Chains A and B, each alone.
Chain A
């Protein structure tokens, strides 16, 4: 036990709270080992004052022999030497002995404690069985303890504890130890709480006095650090760190206040000039030298900060937070620099750099000392800041001491170096033996240019590698750039180039224009030194157009290019090709004419607008755009094809021939453009067959593939050449066709240049490359995008004839337009069109006919009269001379005659007034058309051109025959199917071949009327005849018509003729129907049967010819024909009861009448129309008369009557046929052909129905309250 020895208090981690021991020393010595081991074994909860969170704490103690000197004197606040507990040990078990000596000793001990105000004490009575047994007159154990308690523990009985048989291994002993230790820990903690609390109160009081004049921060520092020491001693590092952080903050605040003009007196000592800058010292737990300086109030700002940080660093490392050390270190270093500045402390130039450099390396060294390599590598992000900082500082020291200059340091530089090294003092003993100590590094680096370079590069590369490793590429490049600057200073541009290029690319890619400009300037300098002429010129071009530079700088770089350009080329030199982008920007291109589609040989101009980026006017000897010529869209397809192609021009290609070029932001230059890839531009492509324009294939084409599908790094060199090297692909290609402009002066800003485009060959021309030549320098734009192209076509001469109106109408003069597109043919004087004449379409020409000549753009060029000569066969039109690719237009009048019965291959049969056959009718209107073919001989061709013109007949005529009994009328309906309004005059109906005279009496009132479009005119004639009507009647209807719009109505009237034939017009039969109410009733009633009497009367005897047609039989001199009648009620008003149809034999004689009785039943009440009655010719099978006509006739009559009866049941004609056939099979066995009777309708007019339209009144059956009314 060394505790009792006098030795100075060492502020190390080995410190433990002091506990003094009085009484029986030998007893304590025997127990010390156990006690020291067992005390920290179990943690105790330490409840803290001021609401601080309770902590579990393992207590340890330094047990020392009690001495009065150990007790704190008044005013001594040293906590580390403060005895927290006093223990009195005794194993006295003898009352006598107690009374004789122990009690007095205890009293003395107590009074000493009381004298120093110490109330933390404990009396331990050690009890042992062995001792007890040795003494005979022992009092019971308790009595001694009781006595002690009685004597000393006034109401504090817990201040005296019994420790039974401490050296024995018994449960009693263990229990006793346990309760003793608990008591000991409790009392210790109580003492801590109380004494630390008091200490903190005192400390706080002291802090509150900081505004008083005599207050000293250093004194206060010592006090609070004492507290920190105690916490550290108690292993409460967090609390200890808080003490230092509080001190840190307090000091910082004072410095800030000082900066704000509120200076404290004590700060004066920190404002002393900095004399030593030997950096942080982190290798000792406590830097006693610095602490003493603080204690004496002699510390400088850097001393205080260094000491404070070293303590914080120690605690943070105990807390295993090394990365916080690095972070705090960086803050500290920055902060110290700021504070020195704020306190206006005079520092030798470079001294702070030394201090920071040493400090950075010291921190890094300290961290390396407590972490393994893997940990370090994983936490580069925490250390890299320090590495960089150290690099920066070393760099600035290097520059300061002339170690970077090409010539090496001057004597002044050397003096400065000596001064700086002097401030470092002697190397500290801790690092003397270390080869790589920060001190040695700095010493070495400042000693020679080579050593500096070595260390600087080492640090730079280390920092750069770390940045790369953690992905901080920008930071890495910044260091790289700094290295480049270093190399440039050292006159080593080769090594600088790579770093500059790397940085420049990144700035360009991210669009930071100021950096781009700055780095590019450095690059230019580097390239100039390296004599990379092409690259230098390219960079110069970019700089000359850089808006971030002053005009003077830009002029300088521009002049560099111009100077080079004007030098006579050395024989070995080729011209230098530079990117156009740096020199000038394309703004727009505009074609004139705007369509950019011209015929061969036509004038086509292209206006190019460029923005010249140079600061001065530049004379360009030649500006040329190479053309790519392709035949694929050949001129043969002509105008239509090209126009179609041009529609897919893309967003920039506008219809008016203007192509705009997208512009990058002027500020970011091309940088932004490079970082943002152009959007994919896709177009639909259709490949159509040239003959019928059907789709062969279709696809999608990417128009800007060349921009998208190229390597990324080369894209930087194309758009914004950093190195300036142009890939071989954009080498100027000669030989191809070009747009050329010579000797242009490009002014700064926008310029307009006019090109004349070559149009010699038909095909498609695409602008590929733009190249401006200035002396030996060529500025090349390798791609022009969006695509700029124009087309040249060659066209065959072409003649078209088209109507002026929608439809050409037949019958009246119509105007047609002749259009001759001359194409490549030049119409010479004497050239004429030869039209072959046809009778159906004469050409009406007048002398005033003139032709108009139009240019290819549709401009009217001239007008000249046409001379037209007609001979019998041809009409010759002499054409005026017309240049190629012009259009000649003139109009002619033609007339197409309407054929009388146009296109009626068959006899048009009219049933119910409907045209059965309509040849080639105009689809929607029913207009009949006539195709007229015109054969024309053109001067440019040996072949005749056949042109078809379609005329439409403006009218549609219909006729019908109407009867009234025997009287006959002919009605002609004429419908205007055209869109024109006509006057119609003089409708006349005539008989063509009058065999039997028939008088046609016009019943038409008007001779002239107007017929609008789709309007119909009906004309009516009564037929009158003397004897009998002819069997067949050939009629011709004619009228005159003229368009209402015609100027001269009289001459304009043209004839219209319609011929038709009427057959079997005379009335053969008349039908009459009668409905009879049931007997005894006056009216028909619904639901009751009524009689229907149909009488068929023969009107006239048939004529000879007619008789032949009718199927008649002669029975006993009486000719009869068979008719079939049928009652049909389509409107469901009637129910036909019994038979509804039948066959009757009619005698072929005038007024012969046949009556048929049938029964019908009205289904509704009201005035009901009569049911329809139809009559047909009933034609037995033709074979019958041929075979035994006599014998069979009677039989057939019977059969018919039988059939009549059978019809009562069946009532349908189909069964008649079947029955007939059955009968026939039975009667004529030899007959192989089945006899089939036929029905044939009569011609209109042959049957006259008298009861047409008649109605009969039908009453309801009962007089119901609900009246059923049927309105039909």
Chain B
């Protein structure tokens, strides 16, 4: 189950960040913020190839003992992300580690998943992003 999901602006400030359980909020903020190091590293490693891709899943950013951070890049406007989040949160929460996406608008999308739940595998996280994309396209929010 995702314990924290964050959308981070191009300038690296959080556009949206929400975590479950709430009492560990600060810890997740630290985790997500620190994960930006790796996100930036991965983005620069991927370089220009990224611009051509519709979506960039950066894979497992790095695990910690408790959580896994996954960054994602999705071509969705950030407000769309927010909107989508409210919708997909339920889907994510019935499973329980950190994953990330980066959109090529440089909006980053980081998911932290509880490591103790091993049922959610990397490729499933990827499909979460696909789910998001699908949702985005259905609602006509695709773009940038």
A positions within 8 Å CB-CB of B = 252, 256, 259, 330-331, 333-334, 337-338, 341-342, 381, 385, 389, 467, 470-475, 478, 507, 510-512, 514-515, 518, 668, 671-672, 675-676
Contacts and interface: CB of A to CB of B under 8 A. Distances in A.
A980 to B, nearest CB: 65
B49 interface: no
Contact of A330 (B26, B40, B63): B63
Interface in B24-75: 25-26, 29-30, 33-34, 36-38, 40-41, 62-65
Given A338-B118, A467-B37, 12 more contacts: A334-B65, A338-B65, A338-B116, A385-B62, A471-B41, A472-B41, A511-B12, A511-B13, A511-B14, A514-B25, A671-B13, A675-B11
A389 B63 CA distance: 11
Given A514-B29, A515-B29, A475 B34 contact: yes
Contacts of A256: 118-119
A478 B41 contact: no
3 closest A-B pairs by CB: A511-B13, A472-B37, A514-B29
Contacts of B118: 252, 256, 259, 338
Nearest to B35: A474
B13 A334 contact: no
A514 B34 contact: no
6 contacts: A256-B119, A338-B118, A381-B41, A478-B30, A507-B33, A511-B14
Contacts of B65: 333-334, 337-338, 389
A252 B119 CA distance: 12
Contacts of A511: 11-14
A359 to B, nearest CB: 13
Nearest to B63: A334
Most chain A CB inside 10 Å of its own CB: which residue of B34, B41, B115: B34
Given A330-B63, A512-B29, A518-B26, A478 B14 contact: no
A512 B13 contact: yes
A473 B118 CA distance: 30
A478 B34 contact: yes
B9 to A, nearest CB: 8
A389 B41 CA distance: 20
A304 B77 CA distance: 48
A334 B33 contact: no
A675 B14 CA distance: 13
B13 A510 contact: yes
B11 A515 contact: no
Nearest to A476: B37
Given A334-B64, A338-B118, A511-B14, A472 B38 contact: yes
Contacts of B25: 514
A473 B37 contact: yes
Nearest to B68: A334
Contact of B11 (A259, A385, A676): A676
B3 to A, nearest CB: 14
Interface of B: 11-14, 25-26, 29-30, 33-34, 36-38, 40-41, 62-65, 115-116, 118-119
Nearest to B32: A512
A341 B116 contact: yes
Most chain B CB inside 10 Å of its own CB: which residue of A333, A338, A342, A676: A338
B105 to A, nearest CB: 17
Contacts of B36: 474
Given A256-B118, A334-B64, A518-B26, A675 B13 contact: yes
Contact of B13 (A381, A518, A672): A672
A946 to B, nearest CB: 68
B92 to A, nearest CB: 20
Given A338-B116, A478-B30, A518-B26, A512 B62 contact: no
B21 to A, nearest CB: 15
A239 to B, nearest CB: 25
A510 B64 contact: no
Nearest to A356: B65
B41 A515 contact: no
A969 to B, nearest CB: 87
B41 A510 contact: no
Given A342-B116, A675-B11, A676-B11, A331 B37 contact: no
Contacts of A473: 37
A343 B3 CA distance: 22
Most chain B CB inside 10 Å of its own CB: which residue of A341, A470, A471, A510: A510
Contacts of B115: 334, 338
Given A338-B115, A671-B13, A514 B37 contact: no
A760 to B, nearest CB: 48
B116 A512 contact: no
Contacts of A470: 41
B61 to A, nearest CB: 11
Contacts of A330: 62-63
A385 B34 CA distance: 13
B22 to A, nearest CB: 12
A471 B37 CA distance: 8
A355 to B, nearest CB: 12
Contact of A668 (B13, B30, B34, B40): B13
Contact of A474 (B26, B33, B63, B64): B33
A149 B130 CA distance: 68
B33 A510 contact: yes
A331 B122 CA distance: 14
B119 to A, nearest CB: 8
B116 A515 contact: no
Contact of A515 (B30, B62, B119): B30
Contacts of A472: 37-38, 41
Contacts of A333: 65
A676 to B, nearest CB: 7
A389 B116 CA distance: 18
A515 B63 contact: no
Contacts of A334: 63-65, 115
B33 A512 contact: yes
A511 B65 CA distance: 27
A1128 to B, nearest CB: 81
Nearest to B119: A256
Nearest to A515: B29
A1136 B73 CA distance: 97
A676 B13 CA distance: 11
Nearest to B36: A474
B44 to A, nearest CB: 9
B62 to A, nearest CB: 6
Nearest to A337: B65
Contacts of A338: 65, 115-116, 118
Contact of A514 (B26, B40, B63): B26
B63 A512 contact: no
B63 A331 contact: yes
B18 to A, nearest CB: 12
Contacts of A515: 26, 29-30, 33
A518 B115 CA distance: 26
A511 B14 CA distance: 7
A671 B33 CA distance: 15
A474 B13 contact: no
Nearest to A506: B33
A446 B53 CA distance: 51
B59 to A, nearest CB: 12
Contacts of B11: 510-511, 675-676
A775 to B, nearest CB: 34
Nearest to B44: A471
A1234 to B, nearest CB: 94
Given A381-B41, A511-B14, A672-B13, A474 B34 contact: yes
Contacts of B119: 256
Nearest to A392: B65
A512 B118 CA distance: 30
Most chain B CB inside 10 Å of its own CB: which residue of A330, A334, A467: A334
Contacts of B62: 330, 385
Most chain B CB inside 10 Å of its own CB: which residue of A331, A512, A675: A512
B37 A474 contact: yes
A337 B25 CA distance: 23
